[in-house]
Structure 1
Amino acid sequence: MGFPAVVRKDFRDSVRSFWLQFTTAIFVVFAVGLASIQWIPVMYQSSPVETSTLALLNSMRQPTVFMVPLISLIVAYDTVVGERESGSLRLLLGLPNSRAAVVFGKFVGRTGVITVSILVGYACAALIAFATYESFDAGIFVRYTLLTVFYGTVYVALATGFSAGMQSRQRAFVGAGGLYALVILLWDVLLFVLQMVIYGQEIPENGLPDWFKFIGMLNPSTAFMHAARAVIPEYREITFYPEGTAFYLDDWVGFAILFCWGAIPLVLGYLWFERTDLQ
């Protein structure tokens, strides 16, 4: 059977279970809604809503940061452990398939689900913007779309790592949910607490040191925005971060941080799965 067959099987299973259709519908509604926001009546000001590529990216910025990780984690958290609980994993490994083929094949299969969903949803948004906006730069939007796919892939890798390393769906779900809460909801709170512990209420005269700014950048959502600034210079107009002189605060470092967030849990999950007695 091998790696390609595992990828095909996992993708087909996602289609049969309506995961692909469900996630695609969510991204279509999400992207089309934000692209169409120009028609929402302005209740408190007389100026029209700006219609440009950058305005669309600004509308999509925070929803993307919150929604893409959530959907990716939900899609992939039980991809390995689900088959383990149902007993079908033994059959899958007996065809024969290596454990590496199972883990990485399922990662690629679920990545395919997220990729198709994002591409379809964002393509619908691009059509609306192209047809109705005052200005629309397809090159910028394509780069942002591909970066969003990469961002979703990171969280699929995280969830697949949890799924491979856990012994039950419940544990994998709690692990993925706890991670989401940490990076999306609690990171800034913990960073503020750390700042208060070290510096109190008075920020140093020269500002926070570069190493402290780097801790904030280690958040994958922040790293995503830095990566966007690296490939879309115009993105700097809608994102503002403390400047620093250290090389590790360069926007391109965001790609390295995202890669580590995806690769390390996936590899660790595989290594744990490789040593696990499935009996």
Structure 2
Amino acid sequence: MSLVAVTKKEFLDSIRSYTLLGLIGLSVVLSGFWSAIQWIPEMSQPVNGNLDMLALLNSMRQPALYLIPMIGIVVGYKAIAGERDSGSIKLLLALPNTRREVFLGKVIGQTAVVSVAILTAYGTAATIAFFTYDSFSLSVFVAYTLLSALYALVCVSIAVSFSAVAETMQWALFGAISAYLVILVVWDAIGSLLTVAFVGYPIEVGELPSWIAVFLYMNPSTAFAQATRAAIPVTREITSFAFLKANFWVDWYGFIVMGLWIVVPLALSYLIFRRTDIE
């Protein structure tokens, strides 16, 4: 076997999961629903620009916020820990595979699985938009889909990293779920508590200390939103960071933060996995 073979095996094994198929179905329903009603969220300022384009973007963004991390966890947490629990990791490593090939094959294969889920859901929204909207932007659809695949890689990297260092699948699942809650709930909650403690409430635009702003910017979901604003400027109409305005930070830094969330967890977990005795 090789990296390509491990990736292919991982993809085929994961895509058959009933849980994954259920989440894909949920993503399709949500994307189709938001696209069909052509809903655009109310913002503090009037929304300008192509309303059809904004409605399409919002129909893709709604499932992306919560379901991409969830799908990444579902497919990623058992990537290596599941093999160790079943004992199949010994067979996998007994074949002419290095641990690096196994590790990277898991990451690439799982990311491909999540990307298929994303494309299926977004494709549903795009189909509805194409036939019912007055206008349809293929370039915006492709750009947002690619950005979502990058975000999927971030989520899969975190989940597989837990899977690589956990001794059991249960601990890998616990770590991945904890990461999901931290990213989507706890991180911003901590930021709010810090803001109230050091600034007070209510807070005015521009009053947020730089160190709190940096802390909030380092959230992977915030980085994804900022990278999207940088690559697709029209999304600024429906994505606002009212209090996260700092002169030293620009939207494209979101790509750097996402890159760090890919590289750092994978590098650290691979170093541990490479030195772990497989029993």
Q: TM-score, normalised by structure 2?
A: 0.89
Alignment CA distance shift 1:59-1:9 (3 Å): closer
Paired residues of 2:7 and 2:105 also in contact (CA < 8 A):
yes
After superposition, residues 2-151 of structure 1 pair within 5 angstroms as 2-18=2-18, 21-38=21-38, 52-151=52-151
Letter in 1 for 2:245: E
- For residue 38 of structure 1, report the CA deviation from its aligned partner: 4.1
- For residue 30 of structure 1, report the CA deviation from its aligned partner: 2.6
- For residue 71 of structure 1, report the CA deviation from its aligned partner: 1.2
- For residue 264 of structure 1, report the CA deviation from its aligned partner: 1.2
Per mean C-alpha deviation after superposition, the further-off stretch among 235-244 and 144-153 is 235-244
Residue deviations 1:239-279 (CA, integer Å, cap 9, x gap): 12232211xx1110001111111221122111111111112
Residue 164 of structure 2: aligned partner = 164
Letter in 2 for 1:13: D
Residue deviations 1:219-252 (CA, integer Å, cap 9, x gap): 1111111001101111111112232211xx1110
Q: How many residues align?
A: 267
Residue 229 of structure 1: aligned partner = 229
Alignment CA distance shift 1:207-1:171 (3 Å): same
Matches of 1:202 and 1:51, distance apart in 2: 32
Residue 247 of structure 2: aligned partner = 245
Alignment CA distance shift 1:206-1:160 (3 Å): closer
Paired residues of 1:53 and 1:137 also in contact (CA < 8 A):
yes
Residue 199 of structure 2: aligned partner = 199
SS at match of 1:223: helix
Residue 47 of structure 1: aligned partner = none
Letter in 2 for 1:120: T
Alignment CA distance shift 1:201-1:243 (3 Å): closer
CA RMSD of aligned residues (A): 2.1
Residue deviations 1:155-188 (CA, integer Å, cap 9, x gap): 0111111100111011001101111111101112
- Provide the identity percentage: 43
Alignment CA distance shift 1:32-1:201 (3 Å): closer
SS at match of 2:159: helix
- For residue 29 of structure 1, report the CA deviation from its aligned partner: 2.1
Q: TM-score, normalised by structure 1?
A: 0.89
Paired residues of 1:6 and 1:101 also in contact (CA < 8 A):
yes
Letter in 2 for 1:163: S
Letter in 2 for 1:275: R
Residue 45 of structure 1: aligned partner = none
Alignment CA distance shift 1:156-1:139 (3 Å): same
Residue 42 of structure 1: aligned partner = none
**Gap regions ≥5 residues in structure 2:** 40-49
Matches of 2:17 and 2:226, distance apart in 1: 35
